[in-house]
Structure 1
Amino acid sequence: MSDIFRKALMEDAARINVPQMTWKQVKQGHRRARGKADWKRRLLVYASAAALVIIVIGGLGFVSPVMSKALQKVPIIGELYWSDNPKLSQYASEPDLSVTDKGITFSVQKIYYDGKRLNMLYAIQVPEGYIPAPDVQLKILLDIDNKVQLNGKPLWDYSGFKILGASSTDSLVSKNMYGGYLSYHLASDQTIPQDSVLTIPVKQIGMVKGDWTLSVPVSGTAINSGAETMFPQNASTSYDGMTLTVSKVIKGPVYTDITMQLRQGLRADGKPVSKTSLLEDFGLPMEFRILDTNHQVIKLSSPKVNDQHFKEVGNEKIWDFTIECKTPSSDVKAIVIEPILMVLYEKGVTEGNCPTMPQLAVTVPLN
């Protein structure tokens, strides 16, 4: 039975198309389309692996407290959601906290917090006979993005901390076990506590109402103590009336944050000096990819652009922003940040992938 289940999942995963960033995706203005496609593929692949481990538990139905404790030591949830970043799991804390109400157990398995990023893995055990919600929109068991608090202050725009993004999802990993992921990215232009208490007020799981509230201590002190801050000299490239500059690099054990600026000169009539047309409909008119000094793509997840700010000063347009990427291995002494132009899709004119701009690439030292 497990072989059949695994084969079906693997066949489904193989049918999922995971394209590179295309013109049509750019037109939609959805910067994370590729990441979500990758995530879907990984979820199916690791779900099949998880099924092999816990198919027996799924067949038994009810998960006993002893089995529950043993199951928490199996990194199924982490494999599902953190498989592409082993360091994230390595530096995460394991609070081993859980609460049970109405026969449902909610537990926090791992938390990563560095003062800017908060990632949490959780598990939900449901009793035998649990019936999922019929509405597909309600099948995600937890809807807590805008309810979680840090030191009593909501992690949500306009009512608490300023965040750049939040996401949550969960999925069935066995007959009676759901695994979930919750993440936040906090804006850097605010005071964020390094040591705090995370409060997760859960009042409903699926269609069942109850109280599964948990308070979890979190700290970014240990992680940030291992971070290295650099201010690279002459990390700037100019081409076609544009200049791309790196002013600061914070290299942590898990993530690296690179502070950058893009400048575009303007003529007296206010039009750009450059011949290259920049699409400004979605904010910063570029995405980026990370290369090594031999201009080969480093196998990191797609870098994220954060903390965007735009201004027009005198005869220049200026974009300030930060790039976040996974920290490369210690043998990588420098990386090259290469722009990818954002261009609107036009049928019959702009087909294929968005063009890279190697002439404006910047080399960034990491030590």
Structure 2
Amino acid sequence: MSAWQDQTEHEQMEQIRRTVQNKKMPQVSYTDDIMKRLGEMDGGSGKLTYKKGTWIKRVAVSASAAAVLGGLVLGSGFVSPAMAETLKNIPLIGSVFQYNFDRSLQQASKSGLTTTPHLSVSRDGVTLNIKEVMFDGTRLVFMIERQGVEDERIMSPYLPEDAVSVEGNTLEKVPVEKQKKGYLFTPKVFIEGQKMVYGSFTDAVGKKEDGKLIDNMAMYEITKGLSEKNLSDEFEITVKVNVSGFHEPFEFQVPVKNLSKNKILLKPDKTQSSGTFSYTVKQIELTPVTTRLIVDSKGKVPSTAEQSGDLSATKMYYDIVDQDGNQLEQHMLGLFHRSPDSEYHEDEAYSPFTKTPTSITIMPYTMTVKKDWSVIEDQEGNWAKTYHKDLEMTIPVPSQ
């Protein structure tokens, strides 16, 4: 330990170079990236030459990276500040999903259900990487990493070229030539040649081990319409990412693998009704990463005495619990600023069960809104739910 402290910065660099070169890496590209970063030292002066935007800023070395570097401990007592800065700016190594806000993606990472395709496209100093992919047969998620841009913002502030108003009118846009380079528009994803319509795109991808938000990353996710395609366990998708300042999209052919082999598919086709309202559970899918519920409903949503006058009921929503009352977390909950429709086709994703349940109970509920469509909250500040006990439905899960 003292020998390490007595070394010059140049000697420290050389020791780490040797460690990296002699260490078996999880992926070949990691060695190349790390050696390239270490190579930015000026050999004559022993000072670090660091160009902002070339590498991800403020990325802490992950646990896997620490293991790769031979278990070196980083800190003021063991390495110089310049050395710590060098290692800090090595690209994030290993799974990005392990740091995600979504606990099911964290679990998918820990269980080895994700893939790392290592695809990269560079243009005029801007590089996009497809960092990690997860597909469990019903849900597809991939992470995009950006390099070469000196801006913490990654989502584009500009309108896309095909943007139109609600009335269908063309909106005024900033010409590509006047846009700052490097901001990402929502990707366009094609599966079997068909463009996928239902997808979400966010830069809220997680926190690193030091508690700081991960920057220069964005996540695209599809939770609807995949199961119906009966996709094989291995296939390719086309991802086109328009980037501000560029006329042509950054395009990737991304291999996708379904590593989740324990899918349970239920098709109860069971109906429950109350008054003129009824709903039918068409399908339930259980994977180690996702629970998927498909429901068709029709009729007027029932209201309670409190949901009258200036207050009214929303559309029907559905909670899911197992035989012990353990409730799943719904992946995304949408609110609409209008009265409920008379018919709905629901395709919703939830967190996975920790273990295969013996039965599943569907618990329909509404929320209460004011005239301005704001939702009534409970004492804890959460949206207040009104459960409809007479609409509950229990579905047995056959032993596997």
TM norm. shorter chain > 0.5: yes
In the alignment, which of 234, 237, 241 is matched to residue 198 of structure 1?
A: 237
* Aligned: 1:291 with 2:321: yes
* Aligned: 1:167 with 2:201: yes
Q: Is the 8 A contact 1:197 1:218 kept in 2?
A: yes
Letter matched to residue 300 of structure 1:
E
Residue of structure 2 in register with 1:345 after alignment: 370
Q: CA deviation at 1:236?
A: 4.6
Question: Which digits, 9 at most, give the CA deviation of each residue in 1:200-243, with x for residues without a partner?
Answer: 33453x657887533211244x54x532222348x554444544
Residue of structure 1 in register with 2:45 after alignment: none
Superposition CA RMSD, Å? 4.8
Structure 2 CA distance, aligned partners of 1:148 and 1:169? 17
Q: CA deviation at 1:341?
A: 1.0
Letter matched to residue 112 of structure 1:
M
Letter matched to residue 154 of structure 1:
K
In the alignment, which of 222, 226, 229 is matched to residue 265 of structure 2?
A: 229
Question: Which digits, 9 at most, give the CA deviation of each residue in 1:114-143, with x for residues without a partner?
Answer: 45532101222337xx35679982699553
Change (3 A) 1:85 1:177: closer
Q: CA deviation at 1:181?
A: 0.7
Residue of structure 2 in register with 1:143 after alignment: 184
Letter matched to residue 286 of structure 1:
M
Aligned-residue identity in percent: 16
Structure 1 range deviating more: 284-293 or 336-345: 284-293
Structure 2 CA distance, aligned partners of 1:257 and 1:247? 11
Question: Which digits, 9 at most, give the CA deviation of each residue in 1:47-74, with x for residues without a partner?
Answer: xx9758599899737988xx44xx322x
Of Structure 1 and Structure 2, which has the larger fraction of its residues in helix? 1
Letter matched to residue 390 of structure 2:
Q
In the alignment, which of 97, 110, 114 is matched to residue 132 of structure 2?
A: 110
Structure 1 CA distance, aligned partners of 2:389 and 2:83? 51
In the alignment, which of 320, 326, 329 is matched to residue 354 of structure 2?
A: 329
Change (3 A) 1:286 1:202: closer
In the alignment, which of 119, 133, 136 is matched to residue 97 of structure 1?
A: 119
Change (3 A) 1:190 1:226: closer
Q: Is the 8 A contact 1:133 1:207 kept in 2?
A: no
In the alignment, which of 349, 358, 362 is matched to residue 389 of structure 2?
A: 358
Structure 1 CA distance, aligned partners of 2:200 and 2:360? 28
Structure 2 CA distance, aligned partners of 1:273 and 1:81? 33
Residue of structure 2 in register with 1:40 after alignment: none
* Aligned: 1:185 with 2:223: yes
Residue of structure 1 in register with 2:254 after alignment: 216
Q: Is the 8 A contact 2:313 2:368 kept in 1?
A: no
Q: CA deviation at 1:356?
A: 1.9
Change (3 A) 1:134 1:298: closer
Change (3 A) 1:321 1:301: closer
Structure 2 CA distance, aligned partners of 1:178 and 1:84? 22
Residue of structure 2 in register with 1:32 after alignment: none
Q: Is the 8 A contact 1:335 1:363 kept in 2?
A: yes
Of Structure 1 and Structure 2, which has the larger fraction of its residues in strand? 1
Structure 1 CA distance, aligned partners of 2:195 and 2:222? 12
Q: CA deviation at 1:355?
A: 1.6
| Structure 2 alignment gaps of length 5 or more | 1-57, 66-73, 75-80, 159-179, 335-340, 379-383
Change (3 A) 1:199 1:96: same
- 2:116 match: secondary structure: coil
Q: CA deviation at 1:79?
A: 0.8
Change (3 A) 1:243 1:293: farther
Q: CA deviation at 1:259?
A: 3.0
* Aligned: 1:262 with 2:297: yes
Question: Which digits, 9 at most, give the CA deviation of each residue in 1:229-276, with x for residues without a partner?
Answer: 22348x554444544443432323322323334354xxxxxxx69665
Which of the two has higher C-alpha Rg?
2
Structure 2 CA distance, aligned partners of 1:284 and 1:346? 12
Structure 1 range deviating more: 242-251 or 345-354: 345-354
Structure 2 CA distance, aligned partners of 1:50 and 1:359? 52
In the alignment, which of 276, 281, 284 is matched to residue 249 of structure 1?
A: 284
- 2:157 match: secondary structure: helix
Letter matched to residue 387 of structure 2:
T
- 1:201 match: secondary structure: strand
- 2:100 match: secondary structure: helix
Number of equivalent positions = 281
Letter matched to residue 329 of structure 2:
L
Structure 2 CA distance, aligned partners of 1:286 and 1:175? 35
